[in-house]
Amino acid sequence: MFPLHDRGYKRLFSHPRWFRQLLETFVEEAWVKDIDFDHCEKVEKSFISEHYKQTESDLLYKVKLKGKEAYIYFLIEFQSTVTWFMAVRLLHYISSFWLDYAESQPQNKKLPAIFPLLLYSGDDQWTAPTDLVELLEQPELFKHYTPQFRYCKIVENEYSQAQLLQIRNIVSTLFLAETRYDLDLLKTELLNLFDQEEDKAAISLLLNWFKQLVVHGRQEAMDYEELEQIYQSQVEAKQMIETAIAKERQQIFEQGKAQGWIEGKSAGWAEGEATGKANLLIALLERRFGPLSEAHKEQIYGLEDVSLLKLSEKLWTAQSLSEILASDEHRDPV
């Protein structure tokens, strides 16, 4: 299962402000400062095959770089697992772009430069090689005839909370919301960012994304039309955030009540299998805080009934996942 909401990333990064902040903040290449961001143009083409459209989305930008035309190919990978042969897939997309360019502009005898960029928002660590040569069995065998290709990766979970809080812009706050689901912290950051950001349409996209994430959770489809609402004042933005948080907490309460976890009313909890209880707790935690790491899941599966019940009781008041799982009182003795 991959987080369905990540398909909306294409809408976010279609906004020029988002695209610019992504490159200026997270692409550590000297030439980024030479891009004329005032004259970037999003090209309405996609090179992803039907087979991969459930797990990927792409954007193509034409930019002016030192007075010359160049392209940024931006692939968004939104499945949780790592695609080992991503270098091959990206090379295929880049080659498809060049073929399309050559056919549509036969008068040009040179192909434009294109920068391949991958954004990964999944939970696993990105371990796939970024250089094609690392995937080849004998790269030296046909050395002069072997393609040389590498892509640039931006992996959200590689940035610490401290790093993201130091950056404090639209894109870093998106990464913070995706990887550190602390509602009080996010509320503060969003409201501060709203005051700092001049482009209210750009910051409103982030606010609406947060609303969708809180209300619908990471695993449910979202209403992307609601991303378009623009907020003009902090009062309006604060009201939306507080309403969304209150709705989420009510949903969690109702879900727990339906499962019989509130006030100890469920015979099912007392009689159920330990694995089933752990699975239910994991589902509720992921609804509240987003996908859990394998280490957190193993921790929960290793708990006894009493500890599982104590964890479930803390779910309704905790502000972060670490507040629930880091407490030694809930760990069973080794």
Evaluate if residue 220 carries a pLDDT over 60: no
Dump pLDDT digits (tens) for 17-34.
Answer: 999 999 999 999 999 999
Evaluate if residue 101 carries a pLDDT over 60: yes
β-bridge partners, 58: 75
Q: Evaluate if pTM is beyond 0.85.
A: no
The pLDDT of residue 74: 95
Range of 2-11, 99-108, 179-188, 288-297 with top mean pLDDT: 99-108
**Confidence bin at 271 (pLDDT 50/70/90):** very low
**Are 11 and 226 spatial neighbours (Cβ–Cβ below 8 Å)?**
no
Share of the chain above pLDDT 90, in %: 48
How far apart CA 285 and CA 103 sit, in angstroms, is 51
Dump pLDDT digits (tens) for 43-52.
Answer: 999 998 777 7
β-bridge partners, 165: none
Q: Report DSSP letters for 250-289, one per residue.
A: HHHHHHHHHTT-GGG--HHHHHS-HHHHHHHHHHHHHHHH
Residue 85 φ/ψ, nearest 5 degrees: -95, 35
β-bridge partners, 318: none
**Are 286 and 218 spatial neighbours (Cβ–Cβ below 8 Å)?**
yes
Please choose, from the candidates 227, 223, 239, the residue with its C-alpha nearest in 3D space to the C-alpha of residue 190: 239
Handedness of CA 300, 301, 303, 306 (dihedral sign): positive
Please enumerate in sequence order all residues whose Cβ is within 8 A of that of 238, keeping only pairs 6 or more positions apart, or say none: 191
Q: Look up tokens 């095959």; give the residue.
A: 49
DSSP code for 38: G
